[in-house]
Amino acid sequence: MPSTAPTTWRVVDIVVASVIAVACAVLFIIWNFAYEGPSALLKPLLPGLQGLLAGPWLMAGVLAGLIIRKPGAALYAEMVAASISALVGNQWSALTLVSGLVQGLGAELVFLVFLYKVFNLPVAVLAGAVAGLACGINDRVLWYPGADTLFTSVYITSTTLSGAVIAGVGSWAIAAALAKTGALNRFAAGRAATTRV
């Protein structure tokens, strides 16, 4: 078996990371408009509570990081998904790329802290939470510059929680389900699932 450094990207890594990004971009495009209804319900309850809806926009980075397990996977997938969302057209236009960059870096940072060696549920939750934290801070700066302390604290807490649950737990569950089907057998994520059985 040829030896490859764990940080070296294979063609299959690029292809699968791109497929994840495109699939998540479709989710982004749908959620760009679908979130408006739930957001209108949450806003009157408590200022900033609509941050609970951020999770779907954070999934590309966490999911790619869990599956590809190589430096740059989270950032790559989140940026590609954000780029597609911006190109298709949304209400945030090119600033979507800034969001993708910040959110992807948030997830990437967690995988880096664990040296791309630990990919369990707690790490997935932490990656989602940090992506959500980055999302909340970025949104506060770009979209809510005059927001008060209550809104800021509720919004950033909500995006962090949403990232932990939806992007973290959700991506971990998707990766685990894909691994069980054998679809990830060419990846460490798939082989790890097989050895646990």
Residues 125-158: pLDDT tens digits?
999 999 999 999 999 999 999 999 999 999 999 9
List the helix and strand counts (H, then E) for the chain. 9, 0
The DSSP letter of residue 120 is: S
Q: How far apart are the first and last CA of the chain?
A: 24
- What the block records as the tokens of 162 is 């949403």
Q: With a threshold of 0.85, does the pTM exceed it?
A: yes
- What integer pLDDT is reported at residue 1 of this predicted model? 38
CATH number for region 11-196: 1.10.1760
Residues 27-82: pLDDT tens digits?
999 998 898 999 999 989 999 999 999 999 999 999 999 999 999 999 999 999 99
- What integer pLDDT is reported at residue 168 of this predicted model? 98
